[in-house]
Structure 1
């Protein structure tokens, strides 16, 4: 009998004991408009405890238990009178020892108004960090993670690029003329393979140790700010990696979409990718569900943002990163795929806390109606308000490529650009739309334009003059290509030359670059550095003239500054009659060619030496 009593006591003690493995967000700040904070607490049997808090200005309003015994969600109210400091949260089990956790409230480092996002005055440099530069070889392999190798010969393996590599080359980014930096995600992707890109996150609060540490991420943010470079963070609200820590112990039966099929190891339901179902007044419910709830791939579970705890978790996580890093913007991946009502709530919550902030959402559509639908201020018939400052102009990008590739019907081609820009009437704020020649998910612009250097220069020059917020992908400035396998993601994300020790070619120093690569790099650098200080390009009036005889002219003007770009598809020299452009008020003016520094008189005609982009400004100094 004595032995049985001892065994029962041990069993009861074991069941009633609890532990805390994580609390998220790991800290918070005083002074937000939203005074409620919801903590996710995870640990064995923590759901069987009763929590309590004793701290001036902080009250525990509600405790939520989950279907798993290992979670609690705590609703805290942080009053305006709360002071920075550390307080204890006590978790009392039915029997046994009370578990305590120290939680910190911090003072915000700067007022909300000082979080200024990117806009049309910026030029954004997009990089894939694993492929940009390896600044710390000691973190290349982490034996505690599932993928335990690097192999630069394998386009889908990790190559070793990291945060230190970005920090080491901030001077290059700055000197090129970029004013904002967007890196694809740097959070941990502890997946078996193919997760170098960062979009299969396995912990929303942890930097991938192969990229570096949280302190290095903060250093990148601080050193970027010192150079006037805004740091944009790539967020993912739609999905996680299947190795995410919570996938082994989900808190609710509706935490992810089609969860029952995942848990029963049944065949999954994949997204139908019918993004128009978000706007289509005739769309069936099955198509809508197939779009938002379906998984991308079997290794990326689709998150259910209709679960209020998931929704709160994602919003708070993004605010935590804005505050922790002092961000200058967010890029939200796969914007139309999550629940669209949640996305409005998400963007609205962020913009409420940071009124001068910027968020760009990825809408991969060639239809301006769909692109414009997601922007804040859109006059949507269904009354939908996205709260989103910016979306991405895949439509105009496609028009530019199509126009420049038309060799035989050049006049028709340039009209495509002209008519494409004419669609700006649909946008609430065209200047906030993000334009780009290429990105990490599509073929390099040099490949798209059949490796035509002149056309590549024309494409880049034109989009940098548009009433848009421009983004360039690393390597575009040196004509990087994926011609061997067009569209292959691993090849699109090729290593940036010079980012690894002993690279025979370096884009940072120019060593080993071809003449054409050096000229392209200088071409981009000149335009970006002019654009950096050009108020006319940032916010000026735009006027363009319908193409004639293979020539298209667009002008930007503000106060005394006027900038003119002329796209010429004629192979031979042309005398351009300037009479048609009289309304620009340039007659008798002296203008300077931004690229060559040559001065010209705007009189009766202007000689164009051949095919290409010609950019002139009234600013002579």
Structure 2
């Protein structure tokens, strides 16, 4: 029988008949989708050798081919499908080119989630920021992946890969949950197959693939589910402004207009204030938003409708696939404003309770406020971005707890004065507030700072009781120290105890020093108190001008309130309580920090740098 078949094939070949050959399809994006999404148009990007001239058809009876887009590069086909009537199913995308017929299997899955099921992070949450490569290594077997460009681990190299991964995070979820935070924000986890510096993740090479040195797509989903099981939400870092130069979309780009300056490297000025500057020249605006971060980070052109749809769908795919609770969008003002506005709007229409925070690294509250949803300063435009990052407050906090406070300057006056200007924000409660993150100096810049426990306690108390959504950078709770002048790699040092064989394990009380335990215990106490306190999580804020170097403010929700007295001087201060009677409903109250009873009659006395947290 076999011999007969070979003879028939030989005869057919002699007569000019050839067996159909499948084209090589290297990428399908997105890899699958879901029936029943609010937006019923689906872009499917196909990447394979010389496929653009193929005729396209579908084997489905209720998925319709709306549009076939061919690019200058013959290795791409972009399909737009109509899913209005589509049910969950498997079907083929059929490419026919002469005698060559290629069937690309595709699946529309049934939605497990509904948009309203996804709960975003809010002011009731506290985010814990983790750089996965530097937190904990749970699976040394995935440290080096054959075929990936950066193929070594060197923990002595601050810009090298150290081997942290999802399993390491998973193994320490109890530590994170016990600390009292309610969400984890992970620095980028998508594939970053760059030749060097890939540890930080900000040069994505495949938007639909988890970096295999962290784990698989399925392992990421498992981590999200485990986190949810412990009451922790998950925020995913995304980057729409640029990608990595090793991304196939750049290396073998569909067309030059997928990237700004027609795919030619032009350096950004980093001066994104020009976007909202009414006096800025067109040149300044263009070079800020269209210029590239570096030569190895090509700047995506979101004004290209195919680029825009590709990016939007990639984010929705991760929300639906993994059930994440939020997105932190990197370098938000560097991308096209109108595109980013449309993206936010579409995501929030699909997932009404979701949240997005944009990295808005600008030097004033006025400039930051422009980027928040419903900002009066942006009218008639609207960014649709719910949450912005309060970088100006971070800068003030880096100084406020070191200086002597007077009634008109320095120290805590900086914080009071800043809050008097909160009217510029459409929603001050939707500001991400933080002492430090992966791009800034740590709050403890050096060992001297780390030894000043009073400074730390005042700062963390303020962070967790002021308006907004607090974020804590991993290691801050154990007084990890670093100055940005030492290099970004130093800001992202390994968490002690995250690697087998570490001499110190700060995940345990036994492994921490007395001072670290004091900081950790204080932070843990405040965080767990905050979780159940609606006055802080949801309440209004009322504050008083500085008196004798003391800052006083109240957080109130319904009939519950929390009042903070914070002495910003090194000296003992005695205050008359007459100005504060409206926020002091009782004649005595327990101070949450010390556990002592505080009598509230005519005066109150605070020791130097003392803080009181009074619960009514």
Whether 1:58 aligns to 2:63 is yes
CA, structure 1 residues 570+98, in 2 after alignment: closer, same or farther (shift >3 Å)? same
Other structure's SS at 1:62 match? strand
Alpha-carbon distance in 2 for matches of 1:224, 1:205: 21
* Contact persistence 1:410–1:569 (CA under 8 A): no
Which residue is equivalent to 2:395?
Answer: 398
Which residue is equivalent to 1:433?
Answer: 431
Other structure's SS at 1:26 match? coil
Whether 1:612 aligns to 2:610 is yes
Provide TM-score, normalisation by structure 1.
0.93
Pick from 86, 103, 112 the counterpart of residue 82 of structure 1: 86
Alpha-carbon distance in 1 for matches of 2:485, 2:505: 24
* Contact persistence 2:405–2:550 (CA under 8 A): no
Following superposition of structure 1 onto structure 2, how do residues 28-177 of structure 1 map, counting pairs within 5 Å? 28-79=33-84, 81-93=85-97, 95-177=98-180
Following superposition of structure 1 onto structure 2, how do residues 516-531 of structure 1 map, counting pairs within 5 Å? 516-531=515-530
* Contact persistence 1:455–1:612 (CA under 8 A): no
* CA apart distance, 1:479: 0.7
Which residue is equivalent to 1:477?
Answer: 477
Pick from 183, 189, 192 the counterpart of residue 186 of structure 2: 183
* Contact persistence 1:443–1:488 (CA under 8 A): no
Alpha-carbon distance in 2 for matches of 1:247, 1:508: 41
* Contact persistence 2:341–2:385 (CA under 8 A): yes
Q: Runs of 5+ in structure 2 lacking a partner?
A: 1-13
* CA apart distance, 1:585: 3.6
Alpha-carbon distance in 2 for matches of 1:381, 1:151: 47
Alpha-carbon distance in 2 for matches of 1:111, 1:237: 25
Whether 1:284 aligns to 2:264 is no
CA, structure 1 residues 277+10, in 2 after alignment: closer, same or farther (shift >3 Å)? farther
CA, structure 1 residues 579+257, in 2 after alignment: closer, same or farther (shift >3 Å)? same
Alpha-carbon distance in 2 for matches of 1:330, 1:232: 5
1:518-569 deviations in whole A, cap 9, x for unaligned? 1111111111101001100011121111111111111111233211112112
Which residue is equivalent to 1:569?
Answer: 568
Other structure's SS at 1:364 match? coil
Which residue is equivalent to 2:462?
Answer: 462
Alpha-carbon distance in 1 for matches of 2:408, 2:166: 46
Which residue is equivalent to 2:313?
Answer: 316
Alpha-carbon distance in 1 for matches of 2:180, 2:431: 20
* Contact persistence 1:536–1:562 (CA under 8 A): yes
* Contact persistence 2:263–2:298 (CA under 8 A): no
CA, structure 1 residues 592+488, in 2 after alignment: closer, same or farther (shift >3 Å)? farther
Alpha-carbon distance in 1 for matches of 2:589, 2:213: 50
Which residue is equivalent to 2:6?
Answer: none
Alpha-carbon distance in 1 for matches of 2:525, 2:485: 29
Alpha-carbon distance in 1 for matches of 2:405, 2:359: 33
* Contact persistence 1:567–1:614 (CA under 8 A): yes
Matched length: 601
Following superposition of structure 1 onto structure 2, how do residues 2-41 of structure 1 map, counting pairs within 5 Å? 18-41=23-46
Other structure's SS at 2:413 match? helix
* CA apart distance, 1:220: 0.7
CA, structure 1 residues 107+312, in 2 after alignment: closer, same or farther (shift >3 Å)? same
Alpha-carbon distance in 2 for matches of 1:12, 1:203: 39
CA, structure 1 residues 10+257, in 2 after alignment: closer, same or farther (shift >3 Å)? farther
Other structure's SS at 1:196 match? helix
Of 561-570 and 128-137, more deviation after overlay is shown by: 561-570
Alpha-carbon distance in 1 for matches of 2:559, 2:238: 40
* Contact persistence 2:590–2:598 (CA under 8 A): yes
1:84-138 deviations in whole A, cap 9, x for unaligned? 1111111111x22310011110111121111111110000000111000011111
Alpha-carbon distance in 2 for matches of 1:407, 1:575: 16
Of 447-456 and 339-348, more deviation after overlay is shown by: 447-456
Provide TM-score, normalisation by structure 2.
0.94
Aligned Cα RMSD in Å? 2.2
1:145-195 deviations in whole A, cap 9, x for unaligned? 111111111111111100001111111111111111100011111111111
* CA apart distance, 1:35: 0.6
1:51-96 deviations in whole A, cap 9, x for unaligned? 10132321001101110111000010001x3211111111111x22
Alpha-carbon distance in 2 for matches of 1:578, 1:610: 18
* Contact persistence 1:151–1:159 (CA under 8 A): yes
* CA apart distance, 1:411: 6.1
* Contact persistence 1:176–1:524 (CA under 8 A): yes
Alpha-carbon distance in 1 for matches of 2:583, 2:406: 28
1:346-402 deviations in whole A, cap 9, x for unaligned? 111111111111000001112111111111111135411111100000111222222
Q: Runs of 5+ in structure 1 lacking a partner?
A: 1-8, 262-267
